[in-house]
Amino acid sequence: MAKTLILYFSNTGNTKRAAETMAQELGADLYRILPEKDYTAADLTWTNAGCRANQEQNDEASRPAYRGALLDLTPYDQVIIGHPIWWGIPPKIIRTVLENLDLTNKKVASFATSGGSDYHDAQKAMELWTGLNLPQGRILSSPSTIKNWLKTI
């Protein structure tokens, strides 16, 4: 059986719950990506064009910092990356993390949580940011959607 790491970013807890359910299902390890500077509700107010998240998501050069050091991926065969959907794509902190990981010879997949988006644009972003052709990611909202998606990857 492949040794799996679920690497995730969760600001409101939705992605965390999905990652924990997935880890339990797979017997996988979990690693939570934490931002160097926490996001406040004001930072995520999408109706405010000047909010932090809008600025980050709209700036191609944005690479929000994360806290601490990333895990050594050497012991893992599979890495599953979880994130919310912000403005149709993963938060830019995911890009920062991906640029600092060596995913060589790893089976990689990604998933998200969202209140209304699909995974189409996020899939394109994840493939661009990893440089890999990934299995189809999915918005996961319940234990049954998680179990069904895991069967596809």
> pLDDT tens digits, residue range 54-93?
999 999 999 999 999 999 999 999 999 999 999 899 999 9
3-class secondary structure per residue, the chain: CCCEEEEEECCCCHHHHHHHHHHHHHCCEEEEECECCCCCCHHHCCCCCCCHHHHHHHCCCCCCCECCCCCCCCCCCEEEEEEECECCECCHHHHHHHCCCCCCCCEEEEEEECCCCCCHHHHHHHHHHHCCCCCCCEECCCHHHHHHHHHHC
- What structural domains and CATH numbers belong to the chain? 4-152 (3.40.50.360)
Please determine, for residue 29, whether its predicted confidence score (pLDDT) is greater than 70.
Answer: yes
Choose among 108, 111, 109: nearest CA to 140.
111
Question: In percent, how much of the chain has pLDDT > 70?
Answer: 99
Q: What mean pLDDT do residues 1-27 have?
A: 94
> pLDDT tens digits, residue range 117-148?
899 999 999 999 999 999 999 999 999 999 99
Tell me the C-alpha to C-alpha distance, in Å, between residue 19 and each of 14, 63, 79, 97, 100: 9, 23, 12, 17, 21
